[in-house]
């Protein structure tokens, strides 16, 4: 009988500094699939703006997006909760519970600090 060697767990990269440039570098390096949407949103909401008012909302959204996408297992879990609520639940209470569980994760990852 041979021993099965477990595959090493992929490490989740730490959160970057909380600046648009640092977040952009982290996305480009670890989750490049987010780049087209990040760039399009930046160009629409920030690049042509005459003030920096929209930057905090932009950072909050993309901080959370990156925090999930950098951890494939957590991202898959959240997407599964959302999918089940939208397409598989017949009971409204169950769908609501699934969406609340996904929302808690979305809010939790937005509170991550740089380096976490």
Q: Tell me which H or E stretch contains 42.
A: helix 35-42
Residue 1: pLDDT band by 50, 70, 90 thresholds? very low
Residue 50: pLDDT band by 50, 70, 90 thresholds? confident
Query: What is the chain written as a DSSP string?
Result: -PPPPPPPPPPPPPP--SSHHHHHHHHHHH-GGGHHHHHHHHIIIIIT-SSSTTHHHHHHHHHHHHHHHTSHHHHHHHHHHHHIIIII--SHHHHHHHHHHHHHHHHHHHTPPTT-
Domain limits, the chain: 35-44+52-110
- In angstroms, the CA 54 to CA 88 distance is 36
- In angstroms, the CA 24 to CA 16 distance is 9
Residue 6: pLDDT band by 50, 70, 90 thresholds? low
58-111 pLDDT, tens digit per residue, is: 999 999 999 999 999 999 999 999 999 999 999 999 999 999 999 999 999 999
| Assigned token pair, 34 | 């987010």
Contact 102, 77 (CB under 8 A): no
Q: Which among 73, 62, 69 has a CA at the least distance from the CA of 22?
A: 62
């Amino acid at each position: 009988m041979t021993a099965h060697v477990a595959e090493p767990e992929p490490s989740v990269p730490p959160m970057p500094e909380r600046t648009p440039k640092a977040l952009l570098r982290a996305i480009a390096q670890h989750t490049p699939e987010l780049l087209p949407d990040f760039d399009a949103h930046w160009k629409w909401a920030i690049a042509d703006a005459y003030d920096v008012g929209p930057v905090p909302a932009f950072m909050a959204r993309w901080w959370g997006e990156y925090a999930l996408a950098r951890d494939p297992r957590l991202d898959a879990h959240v997407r599964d909760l959302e999918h089940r609520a939208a397409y598989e639940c017949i009971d409204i209470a169950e769908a609501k519970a699934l969406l609340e569980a996904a929302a808690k994760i979305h809010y939790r990852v937005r509170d991550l600090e740089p380096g976490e």
